């Protein structure tokens, strides 16, 4: 399994390559980041690191032994012991348990190292893979419906224990 690493400044080139290589694949199931994201990647990367240093968000990458990014797992909008979980896995890593392993690891890290007690996540109704990962890792549907980029979705939550 790829190593889970906290986002750093030197991850920039590998992260940009990951996002470019998987852009069309990701757009099949989540909103596209848009051309502006890629045009101003270095600035956005610096902003994310700043937000992470302030404790607003926590960003992690799944990095293989060759230094290639195989996925990213984010904990955003951290407040009152809770955060929103998001994850993206490279097309080349799909179907090998990478997402499930990453979500399990981030849940453990969130509880033990960050002191979080609740994670929330959303998934489009047609994103069956993400829903399966969330269910396998102990998230339960909350019954709340959401809309992301015009697509209907549902929310999940998981209480964390140390």
Residue 148 pLDDT greater than 90, yes or no: no
Q: Is the pLDDT of residue 102 over 80?
A: yes
Burial-class residue 68 by CB neighbours within 10 Å (0-12, 13-18, 19+).
middle
Q: What is the mean pLDDT of the chain?
A: 95
Mean pLDDT of 84-103: 96
Which residue range(s) make up the domain with 105? 3-159
Give the bridge partners for 85, in sequence order: 75, 121
For the stretch 17-26, pLDDT in tens is 999 999 999 9
pTM of the model: 0.94
Q: State residue 43's pLDDT score.
A: 97
| Residues 20 and 72: beta-carbon distance below 8 Å | no
What are the two backbone dihedrals, phi and then psi, of residue 56, each rounded to the nearest 5 degrees? -75, -35
CA distance 71 to 90: 6
pLDDT at 142: 96
Query: pLDDT for 51-89, tens place per residue?
Result: 999 999 999 999 999 999 999 999 999 999 999 999 999
Q: What stretch of H or E contains 151? A: strand 151-159
State the pLDDT at residue 12. 98
Query: Cα Rg for the chain, rounded, in angstroms?
Result: 15
pLDDT of residue 103: 98
Query: In angstroms, rounded to a whole number, what is the distance separating the alpha carbons of residues 69 and 88?
Result: 10
Measured CA to CA, the distance from residue 126 to residue 105 in angstroms comes to 25
Give the CATH number for residue 66.
3.40.630.30
* Predicted confidence (pLDDT) at residue 94 exceeds the cutoff of 90: yes
**Overall domain count for the chain:** 1
The Cα angle at residue 78 between residues 77 and 79, in degrees rounded to 5: 110
pLDDT at position 120: 98
Token duo for residue 55: 């404790």
């Amino acid at each position: 399994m790829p190593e889970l690493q906290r986002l750093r400044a030197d991850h920039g080139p590998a992260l940009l390559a990951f996002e470019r290589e998987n852009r069309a694949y990701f757009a099949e199931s989540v909103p596209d980041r848009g051309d502006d994201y890629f045009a101003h990647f270095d600035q956005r990367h610096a902003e994310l690191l700043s937000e992470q240093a302030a404790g607003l968000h926590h960003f992690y990458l799944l990095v293989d032994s060759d230094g290639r990014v195989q996925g990213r797992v984010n904990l955003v909008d951290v407040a009152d012991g809770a955060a929103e979980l998001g994850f993206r896995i490279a097309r080349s890593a799909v179907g090998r348990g990478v997402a499930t392993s990453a979500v399990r690891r981030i849940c453990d890290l969130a509880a033990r190292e960050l002191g979080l007690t609740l994670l929330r996540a959303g998934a489009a109704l047609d994103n069956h893979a993400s829903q399966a990962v969330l269910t396998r890792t102990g998230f339960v549907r909350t019954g709340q419906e959401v809309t992301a980029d015009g697509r209907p979705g549902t929310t999940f939550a998981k209480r964390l224990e140390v």
